[in-house]
Amino acid sequence: MKSSIKVVFIGLGGRGRNVMSIMLRMPDVEVVGVCDLRPEMLAKGVALVKERRGVEPVATVDYQELLRRDEVDAVMVTTGWNEHLGLCAEAMLAGKYVATEVGGANSLEQCWDIVRASERSKMPCMMLENCCYGRKEMMVLNMVRQGLFGEIIHAEGGYLHDLRKEIALGYERGHFRHAQNQHRNGDVYPTHALGPIAKCLDINRGNRMMTLTSVSSKGRGLNTWLHEHYGADHEKANYPFAMGDVTTTIITCAHGETIMLTHSTTLPRPYSRRTVIQGTKGIWMEDKKGFYFDGISEKEEQWDSIDKYYPEYEHPLWKSYQDGGKLTETVEGHGGMDYLVQRAFVEAVKNGTPTPIDVYDTAAWMAITCLSEDSVAMGGQPVPIPDFTNGKWMNRRDVAEGPYSLDRIPEK
Amino acid sequence: MKSSIKVVFIGLGGRGRNVMSIMLRMPDVEVVGVCDLRPEMLAKGVALVKERRGVEPVATVDYQELLRRDEVDAVMVTTGWNEHLGLCAEAMLAGKYVATEVGGANSLEQCWDIVRASERSKMPCMMLENCCYGRKEMMVLNMVRQGLFGEIIHAEGGYLHDLRKEIALGYERGHFRHAQNQHRNGDVYPTHALGPIAKCLDINRGNRMMTLTSVSSKGRGLNTWLHEHYGADHEKANYPFAMGDVTTTIITCAHGETIMLTHSTTLPRPYSRRTVIQGTKGIWMEDKKGFYFDGISEKEEQWDSIDKYYPEYEHPLWKSYQDGGKLTETVEGHGGMDYLVQRAFVEAVKNGTPTPIDVYDTAAWMAITCLSEDSVAMGGQPVPIPDFTNGKWMNRRDVAEGPYSLDRIPEK
C-alpha cells in the first residue's frame, strides 16, 4: 500500500477545480500536474494548488505530457462530457488509474474503448458518480443488502433540474449543455439516478441491463424562457433546439427488474432525482423522504419518515465519516458525497485494488445516453444494451471490498 | 329538458350498488330496473331501491329485457370489466344514453364497436371516470385552462394501490382482478390517471394520443405475499401469475406531449395516483401536494402547498357543490367525485346534450389496456393508438358545455 499518491487533472473548468479543491484536503494526495487548453483555466488550476500546497504543479496544454510521467499514479478526467471517454482510454493505456467525472456517451464504440483499454492495461476506470455516495442513497443500499425491501422489482430516478438559464445562455461561455440541447435528443445525463439504482440491482455483478426504450416530449422550455426574459429578437429565442423537455426511459434487466429514468432540465420545477426503489416487501421514495415496509411501518399504507431509519440503518461509511468530523469541513461538495466518492477512488489507488465503480459500470451507465438517443430517434423502439463484461457479469468476483465498497460480493 | 329520468342498472356487485346508492340520492332519478346474473346480487339491488324509494324496480337476469323498455332513458353498465363494452354498444343501439364504470379494453375491436354504435344510434356513451371530477383534478384543469402552466409538455399518473390481498385471494369470491393478474400483463387499469390528464391535454378535441410503449417488471408480489401469509402449500402460492408488478407506459400525443403511466397493484406501498402536469411555466405534483410556477411561487425551486391555490382557483363546479351543502351528504363516493361524475351524466341525459366524457374518450382511454398488453408482449415495441374520431379530433365542436364540462371549446 502506498502512503500517498500523485494525481494529475485534465480539465480545469468549474467542476474540475471543484473536484481538485476537495482532493487537496486529503493529506495523502499530491496534485503534481494540471492541464487545460484554456490559458486562464490553466492559470486558475495552478493558483489553486499553489495556494493550498505551496508548490506549483506541472502545467501544460498537452495532456499526453502528463500521461507520460512515470511518477503519476492516477489521472482525473474533468473535462467537458465529449472528451471523457477518449481520455480515459488513453490514460489507462498509459498505465494509470483513471477517474472520470459524470456524463453520457456519444456512441457504444466509445464505451467499448474504455473496456478494451482497461482489460488490456489492467488499470481501473471509475466514474466519480457522487450520488452513489450520498447519505440517503447509501442508507437505502444498506437496507437493500439487509433484505428490507425483499426482492427488488422496480426502480425510478432521474435528473430533474431547472437549468434553463445556464442552457439557454450557455453558448456565451462555452457551457457544454447548450450544444447538447441544440443537437441531441435523449437522456444526456442519466448517471446521478442510475448509478445508485444500478448498485441496488447488482448490475454487472449477477445482473445486467438488457434493453431500453426512450421517448422525448417536445421541447419548448428554452424558447419560452428566452422569449419571456430576452424577447423575441434574442438570437436564440426561436432556435429549434433538438432536445425534448422531458425524456422518459424504461430499462429492463436480466432478472426482470425495470428502471424508469427521467431527464428534464428545461422546465420550471424544484430539483429532484426522484429515486424510487421498490421490492416485494417495501419501497423508498425520495420525493416523499419516506419508506414503507410490510410489518415494519407503523401505519398501514402511510409513509414513514426517513429520519426514523437513520439510527439503525445509516451506512457504516457515513457513520464513520460523521464520527470522524470530516463532514463539516467537506460539506462544500454536495453535502459530503463528493468527498466520499473521491476518497473511494484514492483508497483504491493507494491499495492497488478494484474501484467500487469500475470500467464496466462506467461504460454501461454512460451507454444509456447514446442508446436513449437511438430509441428516441426511432419513436421509442426498444434497443439492446450491450453486455460490456462479455458474460463475466454472471459470476464476477473481481469486485471492490472494504468500507467504500458498493458491491454485493457474489456467493460461491 | 326532462324533469326526471329513468335509469336501469346492469351489474349489481359492490361497485354497482355503490353507484346506485349515490344515484338514489338524486330526486330527479328513478331506478326502474336492475339486472344481475347472480340471484343474491339481484336481490340486494332490489332491496336497496325499495329501502330508499319504497318501490320495487323490475328485476331480471336478462339485460335485454331492460333495454327493450321504452321508458328507460339511460343504462348504467356496472358489471365486471370484461362485459362493459359489449353491453355499452347494445344499449346505445337500443336508443339509450349509456354510462359505464371504469376498466380497460381487451381488443381494439371492442373499442371501435362502441364508436360505431354511438355514431349509428346518435346516443352518447360516458365512462364514469370519477377522478376527472376530483377536487384536486378539477382545480388543476381549471388552472390549465387559465394558462398558469403555459404550454403543457408532459404528464404522469398511475394507479399505485396495494391490492395484494384482494387479488391473491380474489378467486374465492369472483374478484375480476384475480383473473386479470393470472392471464394478462399490462396496464389493465389506466383511466383514473389518464382521464384527468387527457382532459388537460385536450385529447380528442384538438389533440390525440398517437403511440405508446409499455414495459412490465417481473411479478413477484402476489407469490411473496401468499407465501408469507398462507405458506408454501397454499394452492396459489406458486401460481405463475402473468402480470408484472409494475407496468410503465409512455404515450405520445399529436402535439408532442408525453404521458407516463404506472400500474402497480401487487407491491406494498401507500396509495397514489402520482399525477404530474408539467408545462412551460409550471408544474403540479400530486405526491408533493404542490405546485411550482415561474413568477408566482414564493420561493425559488420550492413547492408551494396546494392549499394556497384553492381560494383563487377552486373549480366553479366544486365551489357550488360545497356551497350547496351536498358535499357532506355524498362524501361516501370517494369524497364527492362519484356524485359529480354521475351528476354530469344525469344532467346530459336530462338535457339531451353530449356527455363531458364521450364515446371517443371512453374508447381511447380503454384502448390503452390492450395496447399496453401488445407492447409489453413485444418487449416494449411502440404501437399506434387508433384515431377513434376518424379525423374529427382536429376540429370537433360537438363537445360538452355547461357547469359539468371538462372540455375546452375549440376556437372557430
Helices (H), A9-102: 14-23, 39-53, 63-67, 84-93
Taking the C-alpha atoms of residue B157 and residue B209, their distance in angstroms, rounded to an integer, is 15
Q: How remote is the C-alpha of B119 from its chain's centroid?
A: 22
Q: How confident is the model at residue B332 (pLDDT cuts 50, 70, 90)?
A: low
What pLDDT, on the 0 to 100 scale, is given for residue A328? Answer: 56
Q: Which of B213, B262, B281, B378 is the best substitution to test chain A (most A C-beta atoms within 10 A)?
A: B213
Q: Provide mean pLDDT across the span A137-163.
A: 98
Residues A125 and A216 in one domain: no
Nearest to B153 among A267, A282, A380 (CB): A267
Check: pTM over 0.95? Answer yes or no. yes
At residue A157, does pLDDT exceed 60? Answer: yes
Q: Which three cell numbers stand for residue B60?
A: 331480471
Residues A250 and A388 in one domain: yes
What pLDDT, on the 0 to 100 scale, is given for residue B287? Answer: 97
The verdict on residue B211 lying in a domain is: yes
What pLDDT, on the 0 to 100 scale, is given for residue A191? Answer: 98
Residues A384 and A282 in one domain: yes
Q: Which residues of A touch B216 (CB under 8 A)?
A: 258
Residues A185 and A96 in one domain: no
Share of chain A above pLDDT 70, in %: 96
Q: Is A382 on the interface with B (CB under 8 A)?
A: yes
Query: What is the extent of the structural domain holding B103?
Result: 5-130
At residue B216, does pLDDT exceed 70? Answer: yes
As a whole number, the mean pLDDT across chain B is: 95
ipTM at complex level: 0.96
Q: Is A252 on the interface with B (CB under 8 A)?
A: yes
Q: At what angle do helices A316-323 and A337-351 cross, to 10 degrees?
A: 100
Q: How confident is the model at residue A171 (pLDDT cuts 50, 70, 90)?
A: confident
Judge contact between B186 and B212, C-beta under 8 A. no
Residues A147 and A89 in one domain: no
Q: Is A293 on the interface with B (CB under 8 A)?
A: yes
Backbone angles phi, psi at B148, to 5 degrees: -60, -30
Backbone angles phi, psi at B159, to 5 degrees: -125, 100
By CA distance, what is A164's nearest residue in B?
B280
Residues B158 and B273 in one domain: yes
**Computed from CA positions of residues B195, B200, B202, B203, in that sequence, does the dihedral angle turn out positive or negative?**
negative
Q: How confident is the model at residue B171 (pLDDT cuts 50, 70, 90)?
A: confident
Residues A125 and A141 in one domain: no
Q: Which of B209, B253, B278, B372 is the best substitution to test chain A (most A C-beta atoms within 10 A)?
A: B278
What pLDDT, on the 0 to 100 scale, is given for residue B335? Answer: 77
As a whole number, the mean pLDDT across chain A is: 95
By 3-state DSSP, what share of chain A in percent is helix, strand and coil, each rounded to 5? Answer: 40, 20, 40
pLDDT one-digit tens code per residue, B81-126: 989 999 999 999 999 999 999 999 999 999 999 999 999 999 999 9
> Where is the domain boundary, B78, B108, B130?
B130
Q: How far is CA A259 from CA A277, B72, B153, B246, B328, in A?
A: 9, 50, 22, 10, 42
Residues A253 and A378 in one domain: yes
At residue A388, does pLDDT exceed 90? Answer: yes
Residues A65 and A214 in one domain: no
Q: What is the CA radius of gyration of chain A?
A: 21
d(CA B270, nearest CA chain A) in Å: 4
At residue B329, does pLDDT exceed 80? Answer: no
What pLDDT, on the 0 to 100 scale, is given for residue A334? Answer: 73
What pLDDT, on the 0 to 100 scale, is given for residue B327? Answer: 59
* Ordered DSSP codes for A279-342: ESSEEEEGGGTEEEETTTSSSTT-PEEGGGTHHHH--HHHHHHHHTTHHHHTTTTGGGHHHHHH
Q: How confident is the model at residue B322 (pLDDT cuts 50, 70, 90)?
A: confident
Residues A112 and A164 in one domain: no
* Ordered DSSP codes for A178-197: HHHHHH--S-S--HHHHHHH
Contact check, Cβ <8 Å, A246/B154? yes
Query: CB pairs below 8 Å between A and B: how many?
Result: 162
At residue B411, does pLDDT exceed 90? Answer: no
> Where is the domain boundary, A107, A130, A153?
A130
Considering its fold, how many domains does chain A have in total?
A: 2
End-to-end alpha-carbon separation of chain A, Å? 28
d(CA B297, nearest CA chain A) in Å: 10
At residue A321, does pLDDT exceed 90? Answer: no
Residue with cell 434487466: A253
What pLDDT, on the 0 to 100 scale, is given for residue A370? Answer: 98
Q: Which three cell numbers stand for residue A138?
A: 447509501
Residue type, B253: C
The verdict on residue B264 lying in a domain is: yes
pLDDT one-digit tens code per residue, A112-134: 999 999 999 999 999 999 999 99
pLDDT one-digit tens code per residue, B3-16: 999 999 999 999 99
Share of chain B above pLDDT 70, in %: 96
Contact check, Cβ <8 Å, B270/A303? yes
| Residues 140-199, chain B, touching A (beta carbon < 8 A) | 150-151, 153-154, 162
d(CA A315, nearest CA chain B) in Å: 24
What pLDDT, on the 0 to 100 scale, is given for residue B325? Answer: 62
d(CA A87, nearest CA chain B) in Å: 35
Angular region, B352: left φ>0, alpha ψ -120 to 50, beta rest: left
Q: What is the CATH number of the domain that holds B309?
A: 3.30.360.10
Backbone angles phi, psi at B189, to 5 degrees: -145, 65
The verdict on residue A16 lying in a domain is: yes
By CA distance, what is A297's nearest residue in B?
B269
Share of chain B above pLDDT 90, in %: 91
Q: Which residues of B touch A260 (CB under 8 A)?
A: 248, 260, 262
Residues B120 and B244 in one domain: no
What pLDDT, on the 0 to 100 scale, is given for residue A341? Answer: 97
Q: How confident is the model at residue A410 (pLDDT cuts 50, 70, 90)?
A: low
